[in-house]
Amino acid sequence: MKIYVSGKLVDRKDAKVSVFDHGLLYGDGVFEGIRAYNGRVFLLDEHIDRLYASATAIALKIPLSKAQMIRAVVATCQANRIRNGYIRLVVTRGVGELGLNPYLCRRPEVIIIAGAIQLYPVELYEKGLAIVTVGTMRNQTEAVNPRIKSLNYLNNVLAKIEAINAGVMECILLNPHGYVAEASGDNVFVAKGETLTTPPPWCGALRGITRDAVMRLAAEMGYTVREDVLTRYDLYTADEVFLTGTAAEIIGVVNVDRRTIGDGTPGPITRKLGRGFSEFARRAGTPIA
């Protein structure tokens, strides 16, 4: 495997960063998780735009232009002969001193990893997920805005620990007002009749690239799609619940806090969107070859 570090493609064993990098010391940096399908990097321009917006929000100047970053992502995929896979693009604050001052960091570090990923077992896409709501609350949006995809994922990790301890693979975080924010690594949708609802970013939800693509796809299929507040009651009484994310794609939820959703299997809207998304992903994106 070849990893892009400091402007070069190096072997995995040689892909190293300093222990004084503020990405390691303080979680100071931003990242994107990106998929490749059928020899194309899925919605790469959208991911790059979000990366640079996240960096701007934390006063981090990325040392590559957007065009250079796109070329670096494609080159890393080519070096690893990726046609279907996962790309992790990371920008850290770079090497600095002990202490929080980011202006002592000389140059941000860019890291690109391209490989394989399998978030959920294949059978769960047919059977659906059981999930729980957890006590770990989503961070206040006034503290760390959820639109910043930062390296500090401790809030999500703590929620994931609760999920695993409860015997499930995923969970839902609520915000301090009791509204649904998102899953530990995915966005959440509720279907009621022909209407799909997903939490707005101000509730603590990341504006996911897959989320937005699914919203557009659902609207094209004739469904009403809206952003609105959701509570646990809305999850429990939904016709369907599903999660969306770069790694997860679209996966149905069939049980929330031991309440069966619908008939206990992924519903027709979830399945239809899953098929539509798979077809869209095959042809949308930046060619690797």
Active site residues: 149
Cβ atoms of 268 and 220 within 8 Å: the answer is no
The H or E element spanning position 56 is helix 44-57
Please say whether the dihedral angle defined by the alpha carbons of residues 119, 123, 125 and 131, taken in this order, is positive or negative.
negative
DSSP string across 200-226: -GGGT----HHHHHHHHHHHHTT-EEE
* Backbone φ, ψ for residue 238 (5° rounding): -70, 155
Maximum separation of any 2 CA atoms in the chain, in Å? 57
Cα of first residue to Cα of last residue in the chain, in angstroms, is: 18
User: Dihedral sign, CA of 16, 19, 22, 26?
Assistant: positive
Report how far residue 211's alpha carbon sits from residue 223's, in angstroms, rounded to the nearest whole number.
Answer: 15
Q: Which helix (H) or strand (E) holds 271?
A: helix 268-283
> Does an H or E element contain 72, and which?
helix 66-79
Q: Cβ distance 2 to 76 under 8 Å?
A: yes
Compute CA distances 250 → 24, 128, 241, whole Å.
Answer: 31, 10, 10
CA–CA distance, 194 with 176 (Å, rounded to integer)? 29
